[in-house]
Structure 1
Amino acid sequence: MKLNAFEKRVVQHPLRVWLQHKIEAPLLMSMLPKPMASFQHALEIGCGFGQGIEVIRAHFGAERVTAVDLDIDMVAAAKARWHQDARALPGINFSVADGCQLPFATAQFDIVFNFAVFHHIPDWQVAVAEVVRVLKPGGFFVIEDLYRLAICNPLSRRLFDHPQHNRFTHIMLLDALEQAGFSIICQRNLLNLAGMILAQKPCEVRPHGLIPLAA
């Protein structure tokens, strides 16, 4: 589901950008094992106006970033922003794409980012499966998202356009990740309103599915 006009203004607000760089990015980075791995190719699902790309490059050091969004206007805005920036080339690519049908080869990315996007996706479990598919074995899935309690309430329904059915809690998201084959490396839950999760695709793969690294 696309953002409405109000939410588009919110995600572009300087305070939102400041929070993402000064608070959220350090918290997300702190969940990664140390020393931090080198990430050659990153995928951002739901790139919006392109702020997440800067976080991925500045904080996680990804050499290449592929950014996708369902909204063609958002992709155009992000592309225009980064093509005006001398830091953008080479290494940044944009696509209009559905998180449930990612147009990429299997095992293509070292790390995938979800900056508060999956709560917009009606069939978010399908998107989780797509992330498993496009990640390389050993790759990481970095998640920060909003939960049912934050979006299925009268105030949120008045201000934003979010799906109201098949919404998830922190525990439901953790369960879906593990059922898809991920190992949970680190997780934080903020009063079941929002949370952060670092998940990893195991390095060992069997014909009938993924197995944990310790198996």
Structure 2
Amino acid sequence: MACFEQALEIGCGFGNGIHLIREHFGAGRVTAVDIDPEMVAAAKGRWQRSPNGLKDVDFAIADATRLPFGDAQFDIVFNFAVFHHIPDWQMAIEEVARVLKPDGFFVVEDLYRAAICNPLSRRLFEHPQQNRFNHHELLAVLRQMGFLIVCERNAFNLAGMVLAQKTLRL
């Protein structure tokens, strides 16, 4: 039996995270979403050519702030450096809380304001510059949305990782 029956990856891009989710987290079924139809098509095409094909992998075009899934559908949700691209990242976290089952986990790995809002980054990459966050602001919003911070790491407030668990609100 899989460690996590239903996993969701938000912002799947080319589908690089799917293997990690399956191999290291033991996900039974992975649903991978991205707002960009070209990314979804590329990821799906890549996985169609893999040894197991599309077995236990679903793809969808979806906005992280309006996920097309029912409440409490997933055991674990992943954000691999995606939320810093989302203008209303707080709403995306609210959606994660909605689609996660009670006691489900949210794995966050992302870049922070200092990494994307400096002059060099602005010249090299296109990222939203308003309503960006740092490590402590991310933790505060996660707690506000009913998450327990299980583990967290902050790399010089440029990037960080968080493992959060959805708790029942009293």
Query: TM-score, with normalisation over the residues of structure 1?
Result: 0.77
Greater Cα radius of gyration, structure 1 or 2: 1
Where does residue 34 of structure 1 map in the other structure?
none
Provide the secondary structure at the position in 2 that maps to 1:40. Answer: strand
- Alignment correspondent of 2:142: 177
The match for 1:10 is: none
1:98-141 Cα distance to aligned partner (Å, 9 max, x none)? 00000000000000000000000000000000000000001000
Structure 1 window deviating more from structure 2 (81-90 vs 160-169): it is 81-90
- Could you say which residue in structure 2 is the equivalent of 1:130? 95
Of 59, 66, 78, the match for 2:24:
59
Of the three residues 156, 160, 164, the one matched with 1:195 is 160
- Report matched runs for 1:9-48 at 5 Å: 38-48=3-13
Task: Give, in angstroms, the shift of residue 61 of structure 1.
Answer: 1.0
Confirm whether residue 69 of structure 1 aligns to residue 40 of structure 2. Answer: no
RMSD between aligned residues: 1.0
Q: Which runs of 5+ in 2 are unaligned?
A: none
Shift of 1:52: 0.4
| Structure whose residues are more often strand by fraction | 2
Question: What does residue 111 of structure 2 align with?
Answer: 146
Structure 1 stretches of 4+ moved >3 Å: none
Deviation at 1:87, TM superposition (A): 2.0
The structure that is helix-richer by fraction is: 1
Distance 1:189 1:179 in 2: 19
Identity of aligned residues (%): 67
Among candidates 116, 120, 126, match of residue 81 of structure 2: 116
5+ residue gaps, structure 1, are 1-36, 205-209
The Cα shift of 1:58 comes to: 1.2
| Letter of the 2:71 counterpart | T
